Structure 1
Amino acid sequence: MQPGKKLLILAHMVAHHEDALICDLAETYAIYDYRSMPCRMAATLSCGLRNDSRVKLEMAGVKITPEQMMLASIVDRIGMIGWMMSDRRKGRKRPASILQAIMGEEKARNENIMAYVSGQEFMDEWNRLAGKEG
């Protein structure tokens, strides 16, 4: 990578994600004050951080690593297989997606919300659902 490009990347890291950069440099290289070193060296070491480092994840706008995404996806699939093999007719809801929750895509489920005008109306519906009509 060209030195000029490394310096631009370092400048972006410092401007937008400095705390993450400091943590990554301390963890990876035991560098606690990157400002005391030559700028080109700091840029080279910063660009050499792993792709799952805090600063690189933040720059990419990602909350978790690809490995964590894959593990959450596996858990979701296993949960779905278990749900599909169970007796779904007994009212077991489809399991929520862990991956969607982590990524912030899980939306509140409002599909079965009902409102009742009176307590008696609620009790009548409760009894109907419980099979106590009569």
Structure 2
Amino acid sequence: MMLREDEDSLVCDFAETYHILDFRSLPAKLAATLAAGLSDNSRIKRHFSGMACTTETLLLALIADVQNLSLWSKSKPGSPKPESLADKFLGNLGKEADTVSVTAEEFDRIRQELLKGGEQNG
């Protein structure tokens, strides 16, 4: 299925991760095992999850967004709101973002889940 969906990403992931340039020369079972073992930040797994960037890149974009909003909140009234980098990575261009309200506990839980995902992939 991975091969049919995005062969180029799979070729690049095998070359980058395993230094295998011709994965078709491998036994099918081994190639499938290695494909399943690719990190969540691999091109092919990001393709299937719909992520345009790595978790780390998304977290950095969110940090930049918070910083930009903080600076914007101190700017002159009427200044245009900064565009969200995270929305660009998530493909939300042209859409008005919904306001999300979470408690401090929910924020910490979500943050820990995202950080755990990054540690498992690094």
Taking structure 1 as the reference length, the TM-score comes to 0.66
Matched, 1:95 2:82: yes
Matched, 1:60 2:63: no
Output the aligned Cα RMSD.
1.6
Q: How many angstroms apart in 2 are the aligned matches of 1:62 and 1:27?
A: 19
Aligned to 1:80: 69
Structure 2 counterpart of 1:70, one-letter code: L
Q: How many angstroms apart in 2 are the aligned matches of 1:59 and 1:108?
A: 22
Aligned to 1:50: 39
Structure 1 counterpart of 2:84, one-letter code: S
Structure 1 counterpart of 2:29, one-letter code: R
Aligned residues: 96
Q: How many angstroms apart in 1 are the aligned matches of 2:95 and 2:55?
A: 25
- For 2:6, which of 17, 21, 26 is the aligned residue? 17
Matched, 1:34 2:28: no
Percent of aligned positions that are identical:
39
Q: Indicate the SS of the match to 1:64.
A: coil
Q: How many angstroms apart in 2 are the aligned matches of 1:92 and 1:16?
A: 44
Structure 1 segments unaligned to the other structure (5+ residues):
1-11, 110-134
Structure 2 counterpart of 1:31, one-letter code: I
Structure 2 counterpart of 1:92, one-letter code: S
Whose relative contact order is higher, 1 or 2, with alpha carbons under 8 Å and at least 6 apart? 2
Q: Confirm or deny: 8 A CA contact 1:34 1:42 kept in the other structure.
A: yes
| Bigger CA radius of gyration | 1
Q: Confirm or deny: 8 A CA contact 1:21 1:54 kept in the other structure.
A: yes
